[in-house]
Structures are given as structure tokens and as C-alpha cells.
């Protein structure tokens, strides 16, 4: 069988998590329109008759390192190329960006087979423009394949899967065939809560909050989850709670539905909002909140 690890790389907000979820046929990575939604390395395991593709979804590669959290995200993204067999570089549209030059250098150093996946091609009206960009890309780097895709509409994803299986080495299954991720349900529940916060709140606040599961109780007929939403300032706490607690109720309701779908079980979800000043720029606080990789 053909089995191995595939790194999904690219700038923030190009659709890596959406791509992995649709390749798996199940939601594992959280998504939103805001950059830096993905903060952790998450494995998505796709097992078929042909073998096993283990996708590695990582934070987007970016230049800004203002806080300890940003340094953690960059380091996590950089280590995505270590120990993988194939790279899928996802780009958004028909143009290169400034930071893409850094990615080119990282790929040259890694020496791995790379597939260039050009996302959101459904939004490009002129087919000639797509072909012209592909010709330039071929001259820019020795890609194994250049594929036009739409992660959201699942366009050409079957072809991407086919190419990946051809490039992966012969191997036995690395994970059990019924396993779909390396992350426990407790972790996924925290991520779902953060996704709902990110989608409900404004542009800036999601970067100042994180979610910690304090208790996760699996009972016979129900799973009880007690979670803390950490923010950096008391003014942010008020925004997350909302007028008469309305925002927190909406977030809790949205998250509970998705968690019940994920674990196929009734869920009781209790949320609190607490302040931990400057947590995003404090390495010790990051580690205590589950950001365990060295920065």
C-alpha cells in the first residue's frame, strides 16, 4: 500500500483546513474567514483501499512575530516539512506574494516532492490566465504537479488524492484504518468552541483569546464539558459574554451542536470567561494553555 505523511503549507487563510476537511469527508480542523485560525499541528488520516494519506494541517506561514504566540505559530508551520513525504503548497489566486519567496527557499532546502494546488479557481473567469500562470509556475519551481482546485466546492480533489497516492512510499498502514485524527475529542471540543468565537466576534478579538477544557466527563448518555475562554483584558471579557450573556449563549449553542455531531452523543456544555493578562506574549502561559511545542 502507499502510505505516508503530507504537509499542507501556505500563507494564512488560503484554505488549508477546508481542504483537509473535505479530503477526509469529515470536519477535523476548524475554519473561519480570519487568518491564523489554525494554531496547532493537526493530523487528518485518510485511509482508502490504495493506502493511507496522513495530512498535516498547520498554521499559515507568515512574517509577523510580534508576540510569543506568533513565534509559536511560525515554528509550528516551519516544522511541518520535517518527516513528511510529500508537500501540498496551497496558494490563493493566480499571483505570488512577498512571503512566497520564503516558502520557495524552505522547499528548496527540504528537497521534497511538491504539488502546487491553486485554490479558488472557480472564481477565475479567464481560462487563459490560469494556463499562463501554470506556465510561469513550472519555470519557477520543479513541481511534481500543478492542480487547479476549489477546496470549498471540492473541485479536482479526487485528482489531488490520486496524485498523492502515487507519490507516497510503499508502506504498511501507519494508523488503524478507522482512526481519522491524532487529536483527542477533548482537544477537538476546545477547537470547536474557539471556531464559534472566531466566527461570532470582530476582527481583532479572536487573536486575544484561547479555550481550555477544565473537565471532560464521558457519562453513559451524555458528555459534560466545562470550558474556560481566556482573554487578555477585562474589556474583552465583557465583549465575549455580551449583553445579558447573549454572545456567550450563542457561542455555546453553536459549539454544542458541532460537538454532538463530532462525538455522536448528547453534550452538556458550560462556558466561563476569565482574564489572563498578556497570555499570548507569555511563553509559560502558552505552555500551560496547551501550546506545548518549544518556541
Q: Are 108 and 143 in contact (CB under 8 A)?
A: no
When pLDDT is averaged across residues 94-121 and rounded to a whole number, the result is 88
Task: Supply 241's cell numbers.
Answer: 459574554
The confidence score (pLDDT) of residue 240 equals: 93
Model confidence over 46-66: pLDDT tens digits?
Answer: 999 999 999 988 766 655 556
The confidence score (pLDDT) of residue 74 equals: 64
pLDDT at 295 over 50: no
Look up residue 116 and give its DSSP letter: E
Count of CA atoms in the C-beta half-sphere (13 A) of 139:
5
Query: In terms of C-beta density within 10 A (0-12 exposed, 13-18 middle, 19 or more buried), how is residue 63 classed?
Result: exposed
The confidence score (pLDDT) of residue 38 equals: 63
Task: Supply 64's cell numbers.
Answer: 509577523
In order of start, what are the domains of the chain with their CATH numbers? 2-167 (3.40.50.300), 185-288 (3.30.300.20)
Look up residue 168 and give its DSSP letter: S
CB crowding 176-194: b at 16 or more within 10 Å, else e: eeeebbebebebbbbbbbb
Can you say how many angstroms the Cα of residue 86 is from the centroid of all Cα atoms in its chain? 17
Look up residue 59 and give its DSSP letter: P
When pLDDT is cut at 50, 70 and 90, the band that residue 278 belongs to is confident
In the chain, what is the straight-line distance between the N-terminal and C-terminal CA atoms, in Å?
Answer: 36
When pLDDT is averaged across residues 277-294 and rounded to a whole number, the result is 64
Q: Are 193 and 290 in contact (CB under 8 A)?
A: no
Parallel, antiparallel, or unpaired: how do β-strands 114-119 and 145-148 relate? parallel
pLDDT at 142 over 80: yes
257 backbone φψ class: left, alpha, beta (φ>0; ψ -120 to 50): alpha
Q: Which residues contact 50 (CB under 8 A, 6 or more apart)?
A: 1, 2, 165
Parallel, antiparallel, or unpaired: how do β-strands 86-92 and 2-9 relate? parallel
User: Is the whole model's pTM more than 0.85, yes or no?
Assistant: no
Can you say how many angstroms the Cα of residue 195 is from the centroid of all Cα atoms in its chain? 11
Percent of the chain with pLDDT over 70: 83
When pLDDT is averaged across residues 259-272 and rounded to a whole number, the result is 95
The confidence score (pLDDT) of residue 294 equals: 40
Highest mean pLDDT among 23-27, 71-75, 101-105, 224-228: 224-228
When pLDDT is cut at 50, 70 and 90, the band that residue 249 belongs to is very high
When pLDDT is averaged across residues 116-133 and rounded to a whole number, the result is 85
pLDDT at 281 over 90: no
When pLDDT is averaged across residues 283-292 and rounded to a whole number, the result is 62
Highest mean pLDDT among 60-69, 74-83, 99-108, 204-213: 99-108
Where do the DSSP E strands lie in 49-158? 51-57, 86-92, 114-119, 145-148
Parallel, antiparallel, or unpaired: how do β-strands 51-57 and 42-48 relate? antiparallel
Percent of the chain with pLDDT over 90: 52
When pLDDT is averaged across residues 225-240 and rounded to a whole number, the result is 92
The confidence score (pLDDT) of residue 42 equals: 84
Distance CA 123, CA 112 (A): 30
When pLDDT is averaged across residues 121-139 and rounded to a whole number, the result is 86
78 backbone φψ class: left, alpha, beta (φ>0; ψ -120 to 50): alpha
Model confidence over 178-222: pLDDT tens digits?
Answer: 999 998 999 999 999 999 998 888 776 767 788 999 999 999 999
Amino acid at each position: 500500500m502507499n502510505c505516508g505523511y503530507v504537509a499542507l503549507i501556505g500563507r494564512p487563510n488560503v484554505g488549508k483546513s477546508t481542504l483537509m476537511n473535505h479530503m477526509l469527508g469529515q470536519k477535523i480542523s476548524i475554519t473561519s474567514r480570519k487568518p491564523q485560525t489554525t494554531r496547532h499541528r493537526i493530523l487528518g488520516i485518510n485511509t482508502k483501499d490504495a493506502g493511507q494519506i496522513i495530512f498535516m494541517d498547520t498554521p499559515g506561514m507568515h512574517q509577523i512575530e510580534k508576540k510569543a504566540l506568533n513565534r509559536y505559530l511560525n515554528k509550528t508551520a516551519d516544522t511541518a516539512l520535517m518527516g513528511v513525504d510529500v508537500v501540498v503548497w496551497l496558494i490563493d489566486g493566480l499571483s505570488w506574494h512577498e512571503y512566497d519567496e520564503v516558502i520557495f527557499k524552505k522547499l528548496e532546502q527540504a528537497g521534497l516532492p511538491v504539488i502546487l494546488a491553486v485554490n479558488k479557481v472557480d472564481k477565475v473567469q479567464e481560462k487563459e490566465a490560469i494556463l499562463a500562470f501554470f506556465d510561469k509556475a513550472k519555470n519557477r519551481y520543479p513541481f511534481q504537479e500543478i492542480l487547479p482546485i476549489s477546496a470549498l466546492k471540492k473541485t479536482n480533489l479526487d485528482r489531488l488524492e490520486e496524485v498523492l497516492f502515487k507519490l507516497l512510499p510503499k508502506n504498511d498502514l501507519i494508523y488503524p484504518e478507522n482512526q481519522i485524527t491524532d487529536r483527542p475529542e477533548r482537544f477537538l471540543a476546545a477547537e470547536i468552541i474557539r471556531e464559534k468565537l472566531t466566527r461570532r466576534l470582530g476582527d481583532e478579538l479572536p487573536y486575544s483569546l484561547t479555550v481550555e477544557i477544565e473537565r471532560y466527563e464521558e457519562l453513559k448518555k451524555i458528555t459534560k464539558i466545562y470550558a474556560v475562554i481566556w482573554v487578555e483584558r477585562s474589556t474583552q471579557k465583557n465583549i465575549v459574554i455580551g449583553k445579558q450573556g447573549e454572545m456567550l449563549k450563542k457561542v455555546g449553542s453553536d459549539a454544542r451542536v458541532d460537538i454532538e455531531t463530532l462525538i455522536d452523543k448528547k453534550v452538556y456544555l458550560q462556558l466561563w470567561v476569565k482574564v489572563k493578562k498578556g497570555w499570548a506574549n507569555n511563553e509559560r502561559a502558552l505552555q500551560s494553555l496547551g501550546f506545548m511545542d518549544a518556541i
